[in-house]
Structure 1
């Protein structure tokens, strides 16, 4: 039997396999796949409308069908573990695809049945709830609308003010001295670890420089941008 069909009828290699098995009235088994392998290979060799993107998928399935057919013709042929898994995977995919295909057919039949469609309730019968005076004009409506808008209270927007804590250089120097009394040696990053305000970081750095200038502390930095270490001079704190 020559099996002729156009590419537009298939959505992919699994769709083609499924229709071939259904055409031959076969179950999805390794034996049936071996029987339709030749038809599948003949089809993809003659099809002209398969895109390059889809051709790889068709050829991948074809290679698995060739393995199955080879095993059917040569019973002594042994498959590798990977080849065996690929064949089992193909059978599983085809069986799952059939389930979805059958479900799609059932849904299609349901949607084609007009008894399963319901329209929204009609609003006929609801009368008008507003009857404007007969002599009212568009200008009258505009005046009424303007009056209604004028009666809406205007919400006054208050100006926002930022409340910032004023931090002096002297206060920060005293703060650093207290820190160094607790810990003889520390680093600048430790001193500002809990500082979220950039201004406070700058003031802390200026306080450190002032303490160096007053010879209260000694600072070290191994290289540019490396950690700055602070150590108070003995007898100064």
Structure 2
């Protein structure tokens, strides 16, 4: 009977290396050990698959997962894939196959097919482990940013004379605006909510419908835009205006509230 000696260390790369997904142990008259080792023995033709009771293997696995609080999806998928291949191989051995018409039409040996698929599966698992290791290592590294390329100077100044420089400087200086008089006092820009409320009332006089964009025509300062918006909100709060917008970033439409009439001089009154 084949048994697995789990306490004996195995070198890396050995074909009988047990993977983490092989915690499930098979107990059969002809074999005792992890499922991975069972497949490897079949692959190396050291164990006849016809002596293996696949029903017993399935019953043991079901009992194994019932005892676990949680089972990894990867381990369950590995078992299902391998069990399906074993069932297919054993069915091919038990059911007589028609003789091939020629040597070229002979199908691949089931044992060799399983061995080939197991080797491919092992390569993919090793590649996935290597990619996962690279990902983990990359979390503690930072890419080195290349310095900006040095651009060669293409301006040929060998033919420029001092007179050319003076002429260019004179042209630049003449284009500058005249300096402000030191006696001039620059007053700060002042706009109040009351001023903008009066502006809005005049614009909506006669119950006209306007847009917020039209109120901003001719504005030259960001503060004026902010105060105009505050004035609109204040009139909405007072129940004198309503504002609507069809969609995000759409035009804001402003009109007097129903029942409130804005006179021509901009004063509200009950309709």
The normalised TM-score by structure 1 is 0.31
Larger RCO (alpha carbons 8 Å, 6+ apart): 1
TM-score by length of 2: 0.27
Q: Greater share of helix residues, 1 or 2?
A: 1
